[in-house]
Homo-oligomer: A and B are copies of this chain.
Amino acid sequence: MKTLVEKLREFKRGPAIILPKDAGLIIALTGINKDSKVVDAGTGSGFLAAYLANICKEVTTYENRKEFFEIADLNLSGFKNVKLKFRDIYKGIKEKNLDAITLDLKEPWKVFKYAEKSLKSNGFLVAFLPTINQLEILLKEIKKYKFRLVKVTELLEREWETEDRIRPKSQMIAHTGFLVFIRKL
């Protein structure tokens, strides 16, 4: 049977993907596991949905852009516990009693009113935001809901060359996005 590593290697690439460093921190800090029900949006190429599905009970992921939906549909076909919806999450979340919601969207705060109802008490809302401009709006919007800001953070991965000489690689990814961890009160 193929493991996650092998499956991800065959994923077709569409929009910018969530990297292992960011998916890993989301998993470690939310503490989600085989009993967890998670909603994810937008699906994009489906990388984050795949990381989540690998360890959760059930992942529902929303994508309303046709071209990404098709890529995600292909990529996520091997994940039995993923429900891929061709739907705009800004219009609502049907799932209830969620352990976590992960948002990689332009305007994640538009989902807050639904997230507040769909999350379990103490459930996590995690937003992935490339820009400070998004962060600023989001920080204001959090205050309108029964949410508590846990942490705003970012990870920098520095890979090392070790073949001939030991030294950090010359280039690195300087920024993927800010990760905002929020908990429902």
Contacts and interface: CB of A to CB of B under 8 A. Distances in A.
Interface of A: 3-5, 8, 20-21, 23-31, 33-34, 51, 54-55, 99, 122, 130-133, 135-136, 139, 149, 151-160, 162, 165-175, 178
Given A28-B20, A159-B151, A159-B152, A174 B169 contact: yes
A160 B62 CA distance: 29
B5 A29 contact: yes
Q: How many copies of this chain are found per oligomer?
A: 4
A167 B5 contact: no
Contacts of A172: 171-174
Contact of A131 (B25, B165, B173): B165
Given A20-B28, A30-B5, A158-B154, A169 B165 contact: no
B160 A153 contact: yes
Contacts of A149: 162
The DSSP consensus for interface residues of chain A is mixed
B34 A29 contact: no
25 contacts: A3-B122, A5-B29, A8-B31, A20-B25, A20-B28, A21-B24, A24-B26, A27-B28, A28-B51, A31-B54, A33-B54, A55-B55, A133-B165, A149-B162, A153-B159, A155-B157, A156-B157, A156-B158, A160-B178, A168-B174, A169-B174, A171-B171, A171-B172, A172-B172, A172-B173
B166 A162 contact: no
A16 to B, nearest CB: 9
A169 B131 CA distance: 10
